[in-house]
Chain A
Amino acid sequence: MVTALLAAGPVYETPARWRVASSLVLSLFGLGVSIYLTIDHFAKIPLACSDTGLVNCQKVTTSAESHFLGIPVALLGLVFYVVMTAINVPPLWYRADRRIHLFRLALAAVGVLFALYLVGAELLIIGNICLWCTSVHVITFILFVLILSTVVPMLGWGSGDAAEEY
């Protein structure tokens, strides 16, 4: 029922081109970093990163928190950005199927929530920060803001001015 409610209805506006392009570019950046982190995880190569002080990529990426439910976080990030990149290609942004935009929004929300968890783990459990991971977190956050501010008006949630370009 909820799915039906969410999926029903029109798409009220077309996203601005800069938003579409930005989401794709950010996704590609995130994908690139995720690939690098995944290679590092499986090939055990040293990351190009400081290893002194608060910033210590190696310590973070080899910590117990580098796995989530037994799955390497780097791999989860890679899968996330593969899907995110795929769904942020322009043709899918311009599709009128609300489910696509809902999925994109949900994915971005899950991404930012997981990023928050990882930031918490870095700061409070591991005690170090990984700059490469942080760059992914920042990209995920910006994507979240971008997608949220684009999709909500597209779906017409809480807005009466459906055609107003955000």
Chain B
Amino acid sequence: MAETDGPNRSQDAKERSRQQSRAVSGKEAARGVSGKPGAGQKTAPKPGTKGPAKGPQNGTAPQGGKGAGGKGGQRPPRPGTRPAAGPRRGRTALWIWGSVALVVVVVVVLVVIKVTSGGSGTGTTPAAGPVPASVTHDVTNIPTSVYNTVGVTSPTVPVNPPTVVGGGSGGKTPPPLTYDGKPGVFFLGGEFCPYCAAERWSIIASLSRFGTFSGLQTMQSSSTDVAPNTPTFTFANAKLTSPYVAVNLHELYGNQRNSAGTGWVVLKPLNKTEQALVKKYDKGDTATSSGSIPFMDIGNKLVTQGASYSPTILQGLTRQQIAANLSDPSNPATKAIIASSNYISAGVCAINGGKPATVCTSKGVTAATKALNLGS
């Protein structure tokens, strides 16, 4: 900076500056030595000077440092060089490590905010959260009597049965869907989707009769779609442990808008096998390879496209209310959920040889089996 002063500087100051500073060159560094006098003249002209920089007469680095390449020996400080480095070096270190500390502090603050705020995303779209124990208990421990009482009857809210692939018993059926050697069930949904929101109640109620869920989280459907904010769950982290059936619960979309604002963020893309499955059986929307959601394939024997019942029946109810009502077979929402659940159970029983018998021979499931013409 001082060298820009040019004519305004005294000759003494210029000379002092030359002694104190030395422009370095790549050649010097490559050699790992301080360089010959004038080495910097070719490659390192000092900005602001007319001619090439003049290196120190003996090629030594200022202040007796290690030298340009970092390999040179200690050199004694020369008279007239910069003041002792102590406090200034401290200031340099303060700048450097202060900046680093600032970055670290900002990151720590962000993490703390994230942790203390419960990890939600935007304020407008709810994030997945833990399911209250009472809700989990109510939806996964519905009394058998409720299933048996409801059967497939839901007079208030019509329930669409699954479609039997190949036309039902006696018809031509494709190879069974299996996962790890077990009869398989594939579900495709999206967290924003109100129809998926309704369907999950039935799926959880049904599949929990065949195994144990883990990783269920709360969710609600989009606030801008039909049946806004329908209380539900997300299968994004859910697993079912079961000796009778293996499930692939696939949440394709989240409940946040994508970057283009034209759709929803993709939570988990379909792999090629899943794409082929959807393309083959999910005919709800031929314009896209993903088909329509919700979609469920029960062992390639039954498929559901779209919700089994309207999510509007769940409007105005909290998650706790819906769950608590599941022990009341006269409740309209319960009837829809349970009737749909019995259909799913009948499908699972049809692909796994009727196991467990306590479920598959129950009155509610046999009613669904009969309605679907699946045989015994």
Contact = CB atoms under 8 A, between A and B. Distances in A.
Interface of A: 4-5, 7-17, 44, 46, 51-54, 56, 58-59, 62-67, 90-91, 93-99, 112, 116, 119-120, 123-128, 141, 144-145, 148-149, 152-153, 156-165
B26 A64 contact: no
Contact of A162 (B21, B30, B84, B106): B21
Contacts of B4: 4-5, 8-9
A119 B107 CA distance: 8
A8 B25 contact: no
A10 B17 CA distance: 10
Interface centre among A5, A98, A99, by most chain B C-beta atoms within 10 angstroms, is A98
Interface of B: 1-4, 20-30, 40, 43-48, 53, 61-70, 82-85, 88-89, 91-92, 95-96, 99-100, 103, 106-107, 110-111, 113-114, 117, 119-122, 127, 215, 236-237, 254, 256-259, 261, 265-269, 271
A44 B256 CA distance: 18
Contacts of B63: 160-164
Given A124-B114, A163-B64, 8 more contacts: A8-B48, A13-B61, A56-B267, A63-B258, A124-B117, A148-B96, A153-B92, A159-B92
Contact of A91 (B26, B117, B259, B261): B26
Nearest to B107: A119
20 contacts: A5-B1, A8-B2, A9-B2, A9-B46, A13-B24, A17-B70, A63-B258, A94-B27, A123-B113, A125-B122, A127-B127, A144-B99, A149-B96, A158-B92, A159-B88, A159-B91, A159-B92, A160-B82, A160-B89, A164-B85
Contacts of B88: 158-161
A95 B103 contact: no
A52 B44 contact: no
Nearest to B127: A127
Given A7-B47, A11-B24, A64-B258, A59 B95 contact: no
Contacts of B237: 52-53
Contacts of A13: 24, 61, 65, 68
B21 A156 contact: yes
A125 B265 CA distance: 13
A116 B66 contact: no
Contacts of B120: 127
A62 to B, nearest CB: 5
Nearest to B30: A94
A162 B65 contact: yes
A63 B83 CA distance: 54
B259 A62 contact: yes
Given A17-B70, A91-B26, A158-B88, A124 B113 contact: yes
B5 to A, nearest CB: 9
